[in-house]
């Protein structure tokens, strides 16, 4: 029996607004505990939450980017549960009337485009953080995070493999980053993912019983947890057992998922509309004002790069992976209008250096103008491509411009004919045997002679010119 995985993801994204969702406390990360809290976000009696308009606009942006329908009238609900990091005893969320519904995200899988449906996107507040003392039987609570705005993006069970799940998550992260509504950092918890997974015999239409996986804080861990879960559920089904619906935790150290709670212990959240908050009403004027603020999104930018710059789909995809990389490329092309040469230098040479230093393009000390300048120096014959690679490294280390480096070190390529002719003559005289062989038709030897000239000129001779001069000197 062959089984097929059915996967649906619930993704929480922390929104990068300056203040919290229902009060004016700062959302800045890393402040001393409980310095970003007030009576509203610690749930004192008698306070009234007031919705942050920016939060709604950020969520609208994601809804538009994922082709969702924005619900003109959505409602906040109280989701009740008890936990020490939830001071009110309920979380303000949205339930039966979410902000947005029925969208999709496109992923590429084996070169094929596939749409993953979005069921809903809703707004909610984050909970606080518990800190457990390892030495004493006490726990501390930090309310800086309570009330930090989140959107929850729920996908349809359209995902069929751990790779597709990772690809979907990366796309979601790319979009929130393009929209500048979140830093999308999984390791730091600004993007969190719960994964629901069930198996069914291949060809069957009905879904099987699912497990919900929690506690995965990287793309790799989501993928590994799902892979483990497929193995676990397959083994059970092949043995004739039934899958029980439950929530399981991913244990990173052991590489396994373990039971956290079963269906019987599932929370009854007793949702009801929050009487302190008016419904969110979104009219066309508001929607339009947000639409005009939308940047060019990854898919559109990638298609434009292919079209406008004649790049392959692969190259366009790499160069539009982040908005800053795409901007870097375009600024460079504006100054040196040969897109293919620029894309090669960015994707090969610049990436190699950045990778060595583990840097993102934003932190690259060579500005787009610096790379363009370097390419111009190759183009006008001042330096060779080989010298350029060296100068790029130096520009990286010294933060000097390629031109400055060339001027300071006098490393400019020598194309001057009389200078080169003298060296060519010298090399021809010094290597009579090789010259004979070459004349006798062993043209491979020509490369050796060129090499000798390059050596004499410390690599600064224009190789093309040297080639020309040598051929002339050796005769037909």
Binding site for ligand ADP (CB under 6 A): 6-10, 154-157, 196-198, 207, 210
CB of 210 or CB of 400, closer to ligand ADP: 210
211 binds, among Zn ion, ligand ADP, none (CB under 5 to 8 A by kind): none
Tokens for 330, please give them.
């375009």
154 binds, among ligand ADP, Zn ion, none (CB under 5 to 8 A by kind): ligand ADP
Supply the minimum distance, in Å, between the C-beta of residue 125 and Zn ion: 10
196 binds, among ligand ADP, Zn ion, none (CB under 5 to 8 A by kind): ligand ADP
CB of 6 or CB of 461, closer to ligand ADP: 6
38 binds, among Zn ion, ligand ADP, none (CB under 5 to 8 A by kind): Zn ion
* Binders in 68-87 for Zn ion, by CB under 5 A: none
CB of 38 or CB of 335, closer to Zn ion: 38
222 binds, among ligand ADP, Zn ion, none (CB under 5 to 8 A by kind): none
Please tell me what DSSP assigns to residue 143. Answer: G
Supply the minimum distance, in Å, between the C-beta of residue 312 and ligand ADP: 34
Which residue number is nearest to ligand ADP in terms of Cβ?
Answer: 8
Supply the minimum distance, in Å, between the C-beta of residue 52 and ligand ADP: 25
What is the Cα–Cα distance from 126 to 349, expressed in whole angstroms? 42
The closest alpha carbon to 92, from 275, 342, 335, belongs to: 275
The closest alpha carbon to 94, from 113, 118, 75, 109, belongs to: 75
Supply the minimum distance, in Å, between the C-beta of residue 244 and ligand ADP: 13
Contact assessment for residue 145 and residue 128, using Cβ atoms and an 8 Å cutoff? yes
Residue indicated by tokens 């993007």:
191
Supply the minimum distance, in Å, between the C-beta of residue 112 and ligand ADP: 21
CB of 207 or CB of 314, closer to ligand ADP: 207
What is the Cα–Cα distance from 153 to 58, expressed in whole angstroms? 13
Supply the minimum distance, in Å, between the C-beta of residue 274 and Zn ion: 17
The closest alpha carbon to 122, from 168, 50, 188, 55, belongs to: 55
- The secondary element (H helix, E strand) that includes residue 167 is helix 162-179
What is the Cα–Cα distance from 15 to 27, expressed in whole angstroms? 9
453 binds, among Zn ion, ligand ADP, none (CB under 5 to 8 A by kind): none
CB of 1 or CB of 292, closer to ligand ADP: 1
Supply the minimum distance, in Å, between the C-beta of residue 173 and ligand ADP: 17
41 binds, among ligand ADP, Zn ion, none (CB under 5 to 8 A by kind): Zn ion
Supply the minimum distance, in Å, between the C-beta of residue 101 and ligand ADP: 12
The closest alpha carbon to 276, from 39, 22, 20, 104, belongs to: 22
319 binds, among Zn ion, ligand ADP, none (CB under 5 to 8 A by kind): none
CB of 7 or CB of 388, closer to ligand ADP: 7
Is residue 127 near Zn ion by the rule CB under 5 A? no
Number of helices followed by number of strands (H, E) in the chain: 16, 16
176 — phi, psi (to 5°)?
-65, -30
What are the helix (H) ranges across 50-110? 53-65
Q: What is the dihedral of CA 367, 371, 374, 380, to 10 degrees?
A: -120
What is the Cα–Cα distance from 417 to 22, expressed in whole angstroms? 75
Contact assessment for residue 153 and residue 172, using Cβ atoms and an 8 Å cutoff? yes
* Residue 10 CB contacts under 8 Å (≥ 6 apart), including other chains: 152, 153, 154, 155, 193, 194, 195, 196
Dmax (CA) of the chain: 100
CB of 149 or CB of 157, closer to ligand ADP: 157
Helix, strand and coil in the chain, % to nearest 5: 40, 20, 35
CA R_g for the chain:
30
7 binds, among Zn ion, ligand ADP, none (CB under 5 to 8 A by kind): ligand ADP
What is the Cα–Cα distance from 103 to 143, expressed in whole angstroms? 34
Supply the minimum distance, in Å, between the C-beta of residue 90 and ligand ADP: 16
CB of 195 or CB of 406, closer to ligand ADP: 195
β-strands 211-216, 246-251 pairing: parallel
Supply the minimum distance, in Å, between the C-beta of residue 104 and ligand ADP: 13
CB of 7 or CB of 374, closer to ligand ADP: 7
CB of 176 or CB of 199, closer to ligand ADP: 199
* Binders in 7-46 for Zn ion, by CB under 5 A: 23, 25, 38, 40-41
Binding-site size for Zn ion (CB under 5 A) equals: 5
Supply the minimum distance, in Å, between the C-beta of residue 24 and Zn ion: 7
Tokens for 429, please give them.
């005289």
Residue 287: C-alpha distances to residues 72, 298, 413, 431 (Å): 9, 21, 58, 78
CB atoms inside a 10 Å sphere around CB 472: 11
CB of 38 or CB of 411, closer to Zn ion: 38
Q: Which residues bind Zn ion (CB under 5 A)?
A: 23, 25, 38, 40-41
């Amino acid at each position: 029996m062959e089984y097929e995985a059915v996967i649906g993801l619930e993704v929480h994204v922390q929104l990068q607004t300056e203040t919290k969702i229902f009060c004016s406390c700062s959302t800045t990360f890393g402040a001393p505990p409980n310095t970003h809290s007030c009576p509203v976000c610690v749930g004192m009696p008698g306070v009234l939450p007031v919705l942050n308009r920016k939060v709604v606009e950020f969520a609208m942006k994601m809804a538009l980017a994922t082709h969702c329908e924005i619900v003109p009238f959505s409602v906040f609900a109280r989701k009740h549960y008890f936990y020490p990091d939830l001071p009110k005893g309920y979380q303000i969320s949205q339930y039966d009337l979410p902000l947005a519904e029925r969208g999709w995200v496109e992923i590429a899988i084996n070169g094929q485009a596939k749409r993953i449906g979005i069921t809903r996107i809703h707004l909610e507040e984050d909970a606080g953080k518990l800190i457990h003392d390892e030495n004493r039987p006490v726990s501390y609570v930090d309310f800086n995070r309570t009330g930090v705005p989140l959107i929850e993006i729920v996908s349809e069970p359209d995902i069929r493999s751990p790779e597709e799940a990772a690809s979907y998550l990366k796309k979601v992260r790319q979009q929130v980053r393009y929209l500048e509504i979140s830093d999308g950092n999984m390791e730091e918890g600004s993007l969190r993912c719960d994964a629901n997974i069930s198996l069914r015999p291949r060809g069957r239409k009905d879904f099987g019983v699912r497990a919900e996986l929690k506690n995965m804080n990287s793309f790799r861990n989501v993928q590994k947890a799902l892979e483990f879960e497929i193995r676990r559920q397959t083994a059970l089904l092949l043995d004739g057992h039934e899958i029980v619906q439950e929530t399981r935790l991913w244990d990173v150290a052991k590489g396994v998922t373990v039971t956290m709670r079963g269906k019987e212990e599932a929370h009854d959240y007793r949702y009801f509309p929050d009487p302190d908050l008016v419904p969110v009403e979104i009219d066309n004027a508001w929607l339009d004002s947000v639409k005009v603020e939308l940047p060019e999104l990854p898919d559109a930018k990638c298609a434009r790069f292919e079209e406008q710059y004649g790049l392959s789909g692969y190259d366009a995809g790499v160069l539009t992976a982040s908005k800053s990389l795409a901007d870097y490329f375009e600024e460079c092309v504006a100054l040196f209008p040969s897109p293919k040469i620029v894309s090669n230098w960015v994707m090969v040479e610049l990436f190699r250096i950045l990778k060595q230093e583990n840097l993102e393009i934003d932190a690259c000390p060579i500005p787009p103008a610096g790379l363009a300048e370097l390419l111009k120096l190759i183009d006008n014959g001042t330096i060779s491509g080989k010298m350029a690679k060296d100068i790029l490294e130096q520009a990286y280390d010294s933060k000097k411009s390629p031109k400055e480096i060339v001027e300071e070190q006098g490393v400019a390529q020598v194309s001057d004919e009389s200078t080169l002719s003298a060296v060519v003559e010298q090399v021809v005289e010094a290597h009579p045997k090789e010259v004979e062989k070459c004349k006798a038709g062993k043209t491979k030897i020509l490369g050796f002679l060129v090499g000798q000239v390059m050596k004499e000129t410390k690599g600064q001779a224009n190789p093309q010119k040297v080639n020309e001069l040598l051929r002339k000197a050796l005769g037909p």
